A and B are shown apart, each in its own frame.
Chain A
Amino acid sequence: MGVLEQKNNRNNREGFLGWLDPTRYGWERFSYWAQRLTGVFLLVYFVGHVYETSSLTSGKDAWNAMLELTQTVWGHLFLIMVIGTSTFHSVNGIRIIFTELGKGLGKPGRPDYPYYPSSLNRRQRSGIWIALILAAIAMLYGSNVLFSGE
């Protein structure tokens, strides 16, 4: 294959679909795209939150009108999603930082069949599970606060 042909060959580029394919790499693949999707979701929320709070500068009526948007069942459900995604993103992010620092990767071993990489081990998977469990607990707590109004 020539250099130009190689440059234009985009068959191996899957883009978003490559991320979302759950059939490869197991939980680590899930963690990979969940970290990115929650990150993009939280960035959108953050931009919205900065815009929402800017209504303060237009006075009490503008603030109350903006606040009413989140004081509905759908508004509460959206905020519960924010609580869950931010908890997952934070805890899984800490796991990724440890991984980047080389912690919890295990010792490199001889590549024997079926070639399970030592880096994708129980410690890494338990980190993902802890992130999911803490996100679920945070969502339950958030639901209780939001729907009880206390």
Chain B
Amino acid sequence: MSRNLILRESQIMKVHYITGVAALFVVAVHILMRLVVPYGSSLEYDHVIFNYHNIFYAVLLEVILVLVSIHGFNGLRVILLELRQSTRWENSVTATIIAMIGLVIYGTRTIIIANGLGT
């Protein structure tokens, strides 16, 4: 395992489990927001923008984005580390962190812009 880790693998796995369980709850709220209105109209542009204007919902989306990104990319990192072991490979696999940060930035951009758009 890489010596430059800030967290031990056992601590990273705790983060993995906590983000997984937390994501389960916030994603459930996200899906319920779709089901409280008729399915067809829940995806209409004006309705979606209206949801993004709700600051609590925008924060919820950001929380989902961060939790699922951490859980998902760490899961991918664990799978890749299980497949092969070498210092070079393990250092390369750390690149999943860059992909995770990139996705969070891209998703945050959408939330911020949609939050400021007119209906």
- List A residues at the B interface (Cβ < 8 Å): 13, 15-16, 36, 39-40, 42-43, 46-47, 50-51, 53-54, 56-57, 60, 63-64, 67, 86, 90, 93-94, 97, 100, 145-146, 149-150
Contact = CB atoms under 8 A, between A and B. Distances in A.
B38 to A, nearest CB: 6
Given A43-B75, A46-B68, A149-B40, A54 B45 contact: no
A40 B39 contact: no
A57 B83 contact: no
Given A39-B75, A40-B76, A57-B110, A63 B40 contact: no
Most buried by B among A13, A46, A94: A46
Contact of B17 (A46, A100, A146): A100
B103 A57 contact: no
A90 B31 CA distance: 15
B89 interface: no
B8 interface: no
A36 B106 contact: no
B75 A56 contact: no
20 contacts: A36-B79, A39-B79, A43-B76, A46-B72, A50-B103, A50-B106, A54-B109, A54-B110, A56-B45, A56-B110, A56-B117, A57-B110, A63-B48, A90-B24, A97-B17, A97-B20, A145-B35, A145-B39, A146-B39, A149-B40
B48 A50 contact: no
A56 B21 contact: no
Nearest to A47: B103
A56 B84 contact: no
Nearest to B14: A100
B39 A64 contact: no
Contact of A57 (B39, B40, B43, B117): B117
B65 A63 contact: no
A50 B110 contact: yes
A57 B114 contact: yes
Interface in B1-57: 13, 17, 20-21, 24, 27, 35, 38-40, 43, 45, 48-49, 52
